[in-house]
């Protein structure tokens, strides 16, 4: 089994509705996303998938979130844009774009700060 990891960053603002503390006020984060993709087979040039292909697909998803107020972006108008909900969203969207018989998104790790991250997996 091969596990590939691609990392990307984005910046956005949000409010967490219902939060008892500071997070109910608008603030921003510089998020770091680590997408882990797994596969058993390599192609004839020795790759599971080109890192560039993962980066491009992940970049498309992140462009919907970068430099935005997340509470105005679907699906976060209804669901609080917490690290949990954002990591699940990226997992689902990337899986829809990348998964094949051999390739599977296995994990999204989303760093909200340099000390705090959420991992979403299924
Ligand atoms: Zn926050």
Cβ atoms of 39 and 103 closer than 8 Å = yes
> How far does the centroid of ligand 1 lie from the alpha carbon of residue 101, in Å?
36
> How far does the centroid of ligand 1 lie from the alpha carbon of residue 91, in Å?
19
State the CB neighbour count (10 A cutoff) for residue 95.
Answer: 17
> How far does the centroid of ligand 1 lie from the alpha carbon of residue 48, in Å?
35
pLDDT attached to residue 98: 95
pLDDT attached to residue 41: 95
Please list, residue by residue across 10-44, b when 16 or more beta carbons sit within 10 angstroms of its beta carbon and e when fewer do: bebebbbeeeeeeeeeeeebebbbbbbbebeeeee
Q: What total of structural domains would you count in the chain?
A: 1
Rounded to the nearest 5°, which phi and psi values hold at 17?
A: -65, 135
Secondary structure of residue 94 in the 3-state scheme: helix
pLDDT attached to residue 103: 97
pLDDT attached to residue 39: 97
> How far does the centroid of ligand 1 lie from the alpha carbon of residue 92, in Å?
21
* Cross-strand pairs, 121: none
> How far does the centroid of ligand 1 lie from the alpha carbon of residue 36, in Å?
23
pLDDT attached to residue 106: 98
CATH of the domain at 86: 3.30.479.10
Domain hosting 7: range is 2-120
pLDDT attached to residue 76: 97
In terms of pTM, does the model score above 0.85? Answer: yes
pLDDT digits (tens, 9 = 90+) for 22-61: 999 999 999 999 999 999 999 999 999 999 999 999 999 9
pLDDT attached to residue 68: 98
> How far does the centroid of ligand 1 lie from the alpha carbon of residue 7, in Å?
20
Among 23, 29, 53, CA closest to 110:
29
> How far does the centroid of ligand 1 lie from the alpha carbon of residue 93, in Å?
22
């Amino acid at each position: 089994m091969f596990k590939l990891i691609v990392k990307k960053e984005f910046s956005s603002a949000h409010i967490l509705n219902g939060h008892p503390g500071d997070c109910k006020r608008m603030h921003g984060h510089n998020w770091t996303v680590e997408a882990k993709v797994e596969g058993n087979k390599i192609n004839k040039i020795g790759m599971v998938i080109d890192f560039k292909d993962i980066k491009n697909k992940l970049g498309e998803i992140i462009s919907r979130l970068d430099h935005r107020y997340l509470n105005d972006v679907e699906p976060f108008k209804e669901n609080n844009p917490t690290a949990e909900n954002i990591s699940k969203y990226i997992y689902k969207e990337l899986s829809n774009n990348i998964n094949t018989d051999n390739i599977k998104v296995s994990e999204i790790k989303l760093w909200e700060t340099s000390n705090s991250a959420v991992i979403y997996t299924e």
